[in-house]
A and B are shown apart, each in its own frame.
Chain A
Amino acid sequence: MKNINLKELERKAFASYFEDGLWDIFLGIFMAGMGIRSLTDNVVFTLLAMAGIPILFLGKKAITLPRIGYVKFSQTRKDKQMKVMWILIVSVIATLLLLSLIVSRQSPSVLIATLMGISFAGVLCVIAYYMDFRRLYLYGILFGITVWLTEVFGSPAGPLASTISGGIALSIGLIQFIRFLHKYPNLEESTDDQF
């Protein structure tokens, strides 16, 4: 008989909101779009990169919530999400400071590139930890590698890496989405008529 682990129960409940693969699709479209934009120098792909945003929000509202239901998570979870927000704010500030260092100093580019790659990957991995979104660890590493390649080799290595990473995330997202639709079919009866 398995033990009931309340922490694991809460984690699984929160993680169920990532089962739909929509975040993966969003990140995939963004990374691939930005990569192709750099390779082709066509502004249309910038718009394509942003297409993931409405897909994410509308998908959550129209597909995810009607299939898995709605929950208000506890204050502990809300505190974790607040930490994520602060991590993002601090990382943006740190990135801007790091970029200003690059501009002002003649530092070895490979070292700076490595620091940038590690910091981008690190930030996404920390967010993955607090959001209990395990696939984000992979995307964080891919993004870090992309940043490193971009800084060291420039085009086309960097944009190509971004496109490939985006393709990987998009593929995983689509597989997750199809699995999600099978696992959580629309219930025939209205579940809210029970009371």
Chain B
Amino acid sequence: MTNSEGSDDLEPIADIDRLIHEPARLMILAHLYVVESADFLFLIRQTQLTAGNLSSHLRKLEDADYIEIKKEFLDKKPHTMISLTDEGRKAFKEYVESMKHVFIGLSEK
């Protein structure tokens, strides 16, 4: 096997979106993907991350324009509502597809 053949085999792995690939961020995006929007508390409960940890990951996702964070008032109480942007939704779909292709063709000889 030459070097170029080896790197061709590993190309799908190199294409993985590293921002999404982190387990905590993957969990956050998976939860946001299946709903229209969710508030901060809901994400804490569903992901079981700490508030600080969740904030840190949300900032990274917001910086990459994968999520949108808005302050809304519901029953006169402030709620930070988080939703996927169109780009974030597309990136997540592409990540799911790329993960499927990473393992296709892997066989034990």
Contact = CB atoms under 8 A, between A and B. Distances in A.
B97 to A, nearest CB: 13
Interface string A64-100: 0011111111110000000000000000000000000
Interface string A4-41: 10110110110010000000000000000000000000
A6 B34 CA distance: 7
A7 B31 CA distance: 10
B27 to A, nearest CB: 8
B8 interface: no
B75 interface: yes
A69 B45 contact: yes
Contacts of B41: 66, 68-70, 187, 191-192
Interface string B32-45: 01111111111111
Interface of A is mostly: helix
B49 to A, nearest CB: 11
Contacts of A57: none
Nearest to B54: A194
B106 interface: no
A8 B33 CA distance: 12
A124 to B, nearest CB: 26
B34 A69 contact: no
Nearest to B77: A192
Contact of B31 (A13, A67, A70, A189): A13
Contacts of A67: 45
B40 A69 contact: yes
Contact of B80 (A7, A75, A187, A195): A195
B94 to A, nearest CB: 15
Contacts of A195: 40, 55, 58, 69, 71, 80
Given A184-B45, A192-B41, A74 B55 contact: no
Nearest to B32: A71
B38 A71 contact: yes
A12 B33 CA distance: 14
